[in-house]
Structure 1
Amino acid sequence: MAADDQSTPGPGDEPALPRRTRVVLGEAAARRRPADRPGTDLAEQTPVGEALVRGLMRAQLALALRLALVVVTGLGALPLLFAVAPGVGGVKVFGVYLPWLLLGLLSFPFLIGVGWAYVRWAERNENDFAALIRRPEP
C-alpha cells in the first residue's frame, strides 16, 4: 500500500507537472522549403530580377509593335489601294461603296480581332514569365 500512497497526492503534496518541451526555431527553419531564388531576385530588385523584368517588357513591346504593324499595314493599305486603283473605290456592295464598307464597317471587327490576339499573346508571355519564376533551380 505504500506505492498507492505515493501515487495519490496528499493535502500538502503538489500535483506532478507535465514534462516541458523545448521549441527551437532552427528546427522550423530546417523544415521549410529552399528559398525561391528568382522570386527573391524580383522582390529585392537585384540585377537578375531587373533583367527578368526587362525581358518581359521587351517581349510585350515586340508583340505590341508587331501587331501595330499589322494594323497599319492592313488599314493603311486600303486607302492606298483606292488611290492607286480608283475603279475599286467605285464598286458598290449592297448599295454601299466598297471604301465605306471596308473602312467604316469592317475595320472594327478587324481591330477587335487584333486586340483579342494581343491580349491572348500578352497573357501567354506573362504566363511564360511566371513559369520561369516558379521553375525550381537545377
Structure 2
Amino acid sequence: MEQPSGADAPERTRIVLAEVVRRRDHDRVRAELAEQTQVGEALVRGLVRAQLALALRLTVVVAIGLGALPLLFAIAPTTSAVDVFGISLPWLLLGVGSFPFLGLVGWAYVHLAERNEQDFTAVVRRPER
C-alpha cells in the first residue's frame, strides 16, 4: 500500500487519553468560593455574620457580667463592706474574679467560633440534591 503524497495527506492527529474530571457538587461550591461568585460570597457572608453575631452576644455577656458588679455595689453599699480573707468583696470580684470569667468567655468564643466554621465547612462539603 502506498502512502499518499505530502500535499494530499490529511494531517495526523494525535489522540491522548484525556484525564476525566468528575466534578462533585462540593467541588463546584469550592470553586464558587475560590472564584468569588455570588453564591460563594453569600456563603462567606453568612459565616462572617454568624461570627459577628457570636462576638456581639458574648460582648453583651461580658458587659452585663462585669458592668453589673459596680452597679450592685452602688445599689447595695452593704456588699462593699463585706471582707473575704481580709480583702473587700468589690476588689476580690473585680480584681480576681473577672479574670476567670473573661477566660471562660474567651474559651466559649473560640469553641463556638470553631463550631461555626465546622458548620460552614459541612455546608460547603454537603452534596446538593
Q: TM-score, normalised by structure 2?
A: 0.84
In structure 2, what is the equivalent of residue 23 of structure 1?
A: 16
Name the structure 2 match of 1:118: 109
Distance in 2 separating the partners of 1:95 and 1:117? 32
Aligned residue pair count: 114
Larger radius of gyration: 1
Which of 88, 91, 98 does residue 89 from structure 2 map onto?
Answer: 98
- Give, as a single letter, the amino acid of the residue that structure 2 aligns with 1:33: R
Q: What SS does the aligned partner of 2:127 have?
A: coil
Alpha-carbon distance in 1 for matches of 2:64, 2:22: 51
| Cα distance in 2, alignment partners of residues 100 and 116 from structure 1 | 24
Counterpart of 2:48 (choices 29, 54, 57) is: 57
User: Which residues of structure 1 form unaligned runs of 5+?
Assistant: 1-21
**CA offset at residue 23 of structure 1?**
3.0
Does the residue aligned with 2:16 lie in a helix, a strand or coil? coil
Question: 4+ residue stretches of structure 1 with deviation over 2 A?
Answer: none
- Counterpart selection for 1:42 from 25, 33, 36: 33
Measure the CA separation in 1 of the matches of 2:90 and 2:22.
63
Greater relative contact order (Cα < 8 A, sep 6+): 2
Q: Identity over aligned residues, as a percent?
A: 67
Look up the equivalent residue of 2:22 and give its one-letter code: R
Secondary structure at 1:126's aligned position in 2?
helix
RMSD: 1.4
User: Structure 1 length normalisation: TM-score?
Assistant: 0.79
Structure 2: which amino acid aligns with 1:122?
Answer: A
